[in-house]
Structure 1
């Protein structure tokens, strides 16, 4: 058999001879590895020349390759499935990390500040939580004033270094500014900006101050109430390129809603408490002050009338024992005090929307209800 095969191979052209030799070597190695021997369908079939030998060897090699190919296909499918599982695991791990971060942010925002504070202080405290947990480098807080402009009320860096001098007030009508456009649209809850050059240079900032100071990306949370009206802005800056793009859309949307909810709730609770307190004080205090003021005014009028009619003997005797002018002056001071208290009650009503905090004794902070304006005090 061996001699016949050698003779058939010798008769084949050189390229075919090399192919036959490689096929036979491959078949021998495959049979030894599989522990098999070739099986012919028709044992009487004979090979007469190399033209019959080549397809026969090819058929044997193909049969040996079938289980190998099947194993490779199974391995390929398993590898594809493994890749898919790894991708799903990576997504789940990322979702878990962001969910854990969301819980940290929520817990910190709920627990920050245990006393009544102004809108500026509440916004700043929330920004301090976000700059730490989101690993930003700078925060800027803005509130809308009575003229509709968004005023810079607080700014600080992660490590307390100097902050850039950003524009104090911004109008919603600024062309090309993505944050102001998002505020006006009443839909977006956050805005990502990765080009902080000025709008004149194709960027997404009002000016180049932040860019010149080395900041390259910005994440702006637009705080909205239940009526979707914006009431505050917390803008985080990073020196890294596209830094906030690592957070997915759902995470940032949820984060913005949580900040809006916690900040809005703190402001509403304080506003509601002030509203009830000021309403009660206005009801009781104004009534009492009206009685006091009316009585004092009647006494003052009577005394002034008595002074003008000072010829009466009884009044002359009364004036010798009392200084009526001084008494009238004291009554005037009492009337002034009553009027000042009325002004304080009016300021308490105004503090519902615009509270002012002042330092009191022993480091305590109280509402500033003094009706005298700072200009009056300076004068």
Structure 2
């Protein structure tokens, strides 16, 4: 007998479809064009090979194929948008808020909450926004890393990059939420991304997405969420780390060269002030000597007139204004030193302010310094 020809893929699928219930058969037929379109693009799914024994295995394969394609497109879109907003340096709170807005859209969430870690290891809310622009629930303003029972704080400590929670009831009711206010107002699931930058530093930020749907984020594959969390941490963390690194280098250079130049300037100004003090004493002696000389010389003589002119000139040579100007120079050097200190501090917590033409620059000012400067300007104008 001639050997039996192996069945084609079409024949295998037809056999599986015959054994499927009508509704399942319709679902499989609906998935086939989408799966074929995915494979026609040249994209290959990242899934383990498994034998297809029945129609259930076939449906699972086709569903996973289309889902992974959707996940890949979502990951590409998230990456593109996160890179698109990374053109400008911004404080960490702005970076988190902008990144959270991207994730809110990508994961079809209803609300995001951003937290930043302070120096004491406490996580403070710095931004929150609902997709519909509505009011934000009253969250706990601070979370402590010592809350071992809280899944997000546990992830912060054990190195996990993302946490999916579907039980937002309070801990006293068996839930995994420190405060159940989100649950009370209708939120049922939470997806948290733990953002870690380079250099072995502790995590610096949290982006928490909330959904009003039960198991709102369960449709996303665990491997996809792991990849997405790495992308979010890489792009967001790198944006903060690069800005911090640039500021640290700039601040270090300014501190080194600027403080050296300021020290020289301050020494010169202080020396000039000492010279002025000595000159003031000499001027006093010279004025008294000129007055004595004028009294000793015969009135009406040329010598008496010359002594009178000398006394008049010496009386007009007041060093008070020059002393005040030198004092202003010394105050300015101290202010520049404080600005250099503020620049070094801004490497960790930069503050931006509006500048000309809509640009933003680092805000290194001190209100007390600005008031002192205005007072000095007023005195200078009045003197002039």
Specify the TM-score bucket, using the shorter chain as the normaliser: 0.7 to 0.9
Paired position in structure 2 for 1:370? 365
Paired position in structure 2 for 1:358? 353
Q: Deviations over 1:329-372 (max 9, x none)?
A: 11111111111011111111111111111223443321011144
Secondary structure of the corresponding residue to residue 162 of structure 1: coil
| 1:339 aligned onto 2:313 | no
How far is the alpha carbon of 1:193 from its aligned partner? 1.1
| 1:289 aligned onto 2:262 | yes
Q: 1:96 to 1:374 in 2, by over 3 A?
A: farther
My pick for the range that moved more, 285-294 or 239-248, is 285-294
CA separation in 1, counterparts of 2:349 and 2:257? 22
Q: Is the 8 A contact 2:125 2:142 kept in 1?
A: yes
Paired position in structure 2 for 1:238? 211
| 1:254 aligned onto 2:249 | no
| 1:146 aligned onto 2:146 | no
Paired position in structure 1 for 2:172? 200
Q: Is the 8 A contact 2:168 2:180 kept in 1?
A: yes
How far is the alpha carbon of 1:113 from its aligned partner? 3.9
What are the equivalent positions in structure 2 for 1:303-342 lying under 5 Å apart?
303-308=276-281, 310-313=283-286, 319-342=314-337
Q: Deviations over 1:308-335 (max 9, x none)?
A: 4554217986752332122111111111
Q: Deviations over 1:30-80 (max 9, x none)?
A: xxxxxxxxxxxxxxxxxxxxxxxxxxxxxxxxxxxxxxxxxxxx9579857
Question: Is there any run of 5+ residues in structure 1 with no aligned partner, and where?
Answer: 1-73
Secondary structure of the corresponding residue to residue 204 of structure 2: strand
- Quick one: higher RCO (CA 8 Å, sep 6+), 1 or 2? 2
Paired position in structure 2 for 1:348? 343
CA separation in 2, counterparts of 1:243 and 1:75? 36
My pick for the range that moved more, 355-364 or 99-108, is 355-364
What are the equivalent positions in structure 2 for 1:1-379 lying under 5 Å apart?
75=15, 79=19, 83=55, 84-186=57-159, 188-226=160-198, 227=200, 229-308=202-281, 310-313=283-286, 319-372=314-367
Compute the RMSD of aligned alpha carbons: 2.5
Matched positions, count? 303
CA separation in 1, counterparts of 2:272 and 2:327? 11
Paired position in structure 1 for 2:10? none
Secondary structure of the corresponding residue to residue 230 of structure 1: coil
Q: Is the 8 A contact 1:142 1:151 kept in 2?
A: yes
Q: 1:301 to 1:241 in 2, by over 3 A?
A: same
| Structure label with greater radius of gyration | 1
How far is the alpha carbon of 1:376 from its aligned partner? 8.6
CA separation in 2, counterparts of 1:116 and 1:104? 22
CA separation in 2, counterparts of 1:100 and 1:351? 37
My pick for the range that moved more, 223-232 or 127-136, is 223-232
CA separation in 2, counterparts of 1:286 and 1:348? 13
CA separation in 1, counterparts of 2:259 and 2:180? 53
Question: Is there any run of 5+ residues in structure 2 with no aligned partner, and where?
Answer: 1-13, 20-51, 291-310, 373-384
Q: Is the 8 A contact 2:287 2:315 kept in 1?
A: no
CA separation in 2, counterparts of 1:259 and 1:168? 24
Q: Deviations over 1:5-36 (max 9, x none)?
A: xxxxxxxxxxxxxxxxxxxxxxxxxxxxxxxx
